[in-house]
């Protein structure tokens, strides 16, 4: 069987990766439609050696589609979701617009694949740092329930889109030339700098990105009262995120068992060379599918604590790859139909 797929936001950082992944993974396609804003209409992108022309998004563009992979920002997703669902397509949405909607499954295929079956036309792709963390933590949680997570992130420019990545390069150049760096995508220069994630801060002092890690992790791992606290920082790295994670369990976690669980886990790779002090770096993770995990060690301040470090490609597993894997999961299991909508 093959499927008719549209990419909404095809020209963006995630959109172009979606296109590359559909080709690389040989997703069974009978039609591929590239949609973006009217600014991009008529431009061309290559797919399997052929040039495809980008169309401006419109209601009629979704007719007959089986999947719409959307990565054009929350407001664009909200604006077109009804039309996509009405057209009968399954929308795999990379934005945060529907993630916490109880009707919408929030899926990391390695963690909660069965949740995808209960969609009513929309399946949400989680926040990038949350996806990477859940891939690494679920195999540990399966052995011993995690009681508390303390995470600090080191997030690359790619999370803010293709233009932001370009801007970091320009900023680096400008600073080296002794010029004032252009800062349009971010509130402050990111080159040779870092700053807390520039999303809205709530009454408790947590920014939106940090609350996504709290709430989405609970939903994906199906532990509504899981204790999670996060500090999210943007760093001048182009496309892979890193995370320092402290976990607390009810009992000490055997280190060998933790390493073995990560090494065996789908979507994760254990990468540590203690003699060389070599652990996952963004340059190792960039362009890779797996979340690289290392520096697994006992927390010396807490007998029931475990420390670990990970890096994962924000554009791939953090966004485009996870979205394509969701579409594959739905296609392979014949979950395109909506159980609740037809009831």
Residue placing its CB nearer to ligand A2P in the complex, 137 or 157: 157
Long-range CB contacts for residues 277-281, cutoff 8 Å, separation at least 24:
279/309, 280/242, 280/309, 280/310, 280/311, 281/242, 281/311
Residue placing its CB nearer to ligand A2P in the complex, 6 or 162: 162
The least distance separating ligand A2P from the CB of residue 42, rounded to whole angstroms, comes to: 11
The verdict on whether residue 208 carries a ligand-binding annotation is yes
Q: Is 119 a catalytic residue?
A: no
The verdict on whether residue 58 carries a ligand-binding annotation is no
**Interatomic CA distance for residues 325 and 38, integer angstroms:** 28
Return the H-helix or E-strand segment holding 211: helix 208-220
Contact between residue 148 and residue 140 where contact means Cβ atoms under 8 Å apart: no
The least distance separating ligand A2P from the CB of residue 54, rounded to whole angstroms, comes to: 7
Catalytic residue among 119, 141, 197, 241, which?
Answer: 241
The vertex-324 CA angle with 70 and 332, nearest 5°, equals: 120
The least distance separating ligand A2P from the CB of residue 334, rounded to whole angstroms, comes to: 30
Residue placing its CB nearer to ligand A2P in the complex, 5 or 310: 5
Q: Is 128 a catalytic residue?
A: yes
Residue placing its CB nearer to ligand A2P in the complex, 116 or 124: 124
Site residues (vs ligand A2P, CB under 6 A): 9-15, 36-37, 39-40, 57, 72-73, 76, 161-163
* Residue of this chain nearest to ligand A2P (CB atom): 12
In 10 A of CB 288, how many CB atoms?
17
Catalytic residue among 128, 134, 232, 311, which?
Answer: 128
Residue in 276, 307, 314 with CA at minimum distance from that of residue 293:
307
The vertex-197 CA angle with 203 and 241, nearest 5°, equals: 135
Residue placing its CB nearer to ligand A2P in the complex, 20 or 115: 20
**Any residues with CB less than 8 A from the CB of 276 and at least 6 apart, and which?**
none
The verdict on whether residue 338 carries a ligand-binding annotation is no
**Interatomic CA distance for residues 34 and 113, integer angstroms:** 27
The verdict on whether residue 267 carries a ligand-binding annotation is no
**Interatomic CA distance for residues 242 and 310, integer angstroms:** 6
The verdict on whether residue 204 carries a ligand-binding annotation is no
Contact between residue 310 and residue 153 where contact means Cβ atoms under 8 Å apart: no
The least distance separating ligand A2P from the CB of residue 238, rounded to whole angstroms, comes to: 13
The verdict on whether residue 13 carries a ligand-binding annotation is yes
Residue placing its CB nearer to ligand A2P in the complex, 12 or 121: 12
Residue in 258, 226, 44, 234 with CA at minimum distance from that of residue 143:
258
In 10 A of CB 86, how many CB atoms?
12
The verdict on whether residue 158 carries a ligand-binding annotation is yes
30, 156, 198, 321, 338 from 235: Cα distances, Å? 40, 6, 12, 22, 41
The least distance separating ligand A2P from the CB of residue 287, rounded to whole angstroms, comes to: 17
The verdict on whether residue 234 carries a ligand-binding annotation is yes
Contact between residue 112 and residue 221 where contact means Cβ atoms under 8 Å apart: yes
The least distance separating ligand A2P from the CB of residue 221, rounded to whole angstroms, comes to: 27
Contact between residue 71 and residue 314 where contact means Cβ atoms under 8 Å apart: no
Name the binding residues for substrate.
155, 208, 234
Name the binding residues.
11-14, 39-40, 99, 155, 158-159, 208, 234, 314
Name the binding residues for phosphate.
99
Name the binding residues for NADP(+).
11-14, 39-40, 158-159, 314
**Which residues are identified as catalytic?**
128, 241
């Amino acid at each position: 069987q093959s499927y008719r797929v549209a990419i909404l936001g095809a020209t963006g950082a995630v959109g172009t990766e979606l296109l590359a992944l559909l080709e690389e993974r040989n997703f069974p396609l009978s039609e591929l439609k590239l949609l973006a804003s009217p600014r991009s209409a008529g431009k061309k992108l290559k797919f399997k050696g052929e040039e495809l022309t980008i169309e401006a998004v419109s209601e009629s563009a979704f007719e007959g589609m089986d999947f719409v992979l959307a990565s054009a920002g929350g407001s664009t997703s909200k604006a077109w979701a009804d039309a996509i669902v009405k057209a009968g397509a399954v929308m795999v949405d990379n934005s945060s617009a529907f993630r916490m909607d109880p009707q919408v499954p929030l899926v990391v295929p390695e963690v909660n694949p069965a949740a995808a079956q209960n969609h009513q036309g929309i399946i949400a792709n989680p926040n990038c740092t949350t996806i990477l963390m859940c891939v690494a933590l679920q195999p540990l949680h399966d052995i011993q329930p995690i009681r508390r997570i303390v995470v600090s992130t080191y997030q690359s420019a790619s999370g803010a889109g293709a233009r932001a990545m370009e801007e970091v390069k320009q900023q680096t150049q400008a600073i080296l030339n002794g010029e004032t760096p252009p800062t349009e995508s971010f509130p402050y220069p990111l080159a040779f700098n870092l700053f807390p994630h520039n999303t809205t801060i709530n009454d408790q002092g947590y920014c939106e990105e940090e609350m996504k890690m709290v709430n989405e992790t609970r939903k994906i791992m199906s532990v509504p009262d899981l204790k999670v606290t996060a500090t999210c920082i943007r760093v001048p790295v182009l496309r892979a995120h890193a995370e320092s994670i402290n976990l607390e369990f009810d009992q000490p976690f055997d280190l060998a068992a933790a390493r073995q669980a990560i090494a065996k886990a789908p979507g994760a790779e254990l990468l540590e060379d203690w003699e060389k002090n070599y652990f996952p770096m963004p340059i190792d993770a960039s362009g890779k599918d797996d979340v690289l995990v290392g520096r697994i060690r006992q927390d010396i301040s807490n007998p029931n604590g475990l420390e670990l470090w990970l890096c994962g490609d924000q554009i791939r597993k953090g966004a485009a790859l996870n979205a394509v894997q969701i579409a594959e999961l739905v296609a392979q299991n014949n979950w395109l139909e909506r159980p609740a909508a037809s009831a």
